[in-house]
Amino acid sequence: MFNLFFMSIIILLIAVVVMILASILSKKTSNDREKMSPFECGFDPINSSRLPFSIRFFLITVIFLIFDVEIALILPMILIFKTSNIINWMITSLIFLLILIIGLIHEWNQGALNWSK
């Protein structure tokens, strides 16, 4: 038990040290107007280089990724069925699926799944 706790503390400390070193050693850039503008052979740009994107498309993509990862979590539950306690497996599965269904209903009520707006 002590070894597990000790290794967890060491891993946490290494991660914190790496993050601090990365932030200290990272190159700071100064963003001025010329560096942020697109290069078009010395001519003024015709239109903006940063095209706007649909926030609806972004939300649909995030929802897809969330449910895609959750499918990857549901598949091993089927394999564990034979080797685990039925009651524990059923409670865990139902809680997980309930959280998924509540999230889906919330997204539906918020209108994030309506693409036609």
Q: What is the model's pLDDT at position 17?
A: 95
> Do residues 60 and 112 lie in contact, with contact meaning Cβ atoms separated by under 8 Å?
yes
Q: Is residue 100 part of a domain?
A: yes
Q: Is residue 23 part of a domain?
A: no
Q: Is residue 73 part of a domain?
A: yes
> Do residues 56 and 117 lie in contact, with contact meaning Cβ atoms separated by under 8 Å?
yes
Q: Which domain holds residue 66?
A: 62-110
From the list 89, 43, 97, the residue with the least C-alpha distance to 70 is 97
Q: Is the pLDDT of residue 117 over 80?
A: no
What is the CA angle 19-22-28, rounded to 5?
A: 135
**Per-residue pLDDT tens over the stretch 23-46:** 888 766 666 666 666 665 666 656
Count of domains observed in the chain: 1
Q: Is residue 10 part of a domain?
A: no
Q: Is residue 36 part of a domain?
A: no
Q: Is residue 95 part of a domain?
A: yes
**Per-residue pLDDT tens over the stretch 60-99:** 788 888 888 888 888 888 888 888 888 988 998 899 889 8
pTM of the predicted model over 0.75: no
Q: Is residue 38 part of a domain?
A: no
Q: Is residue 106 part of a domain?
A: yes
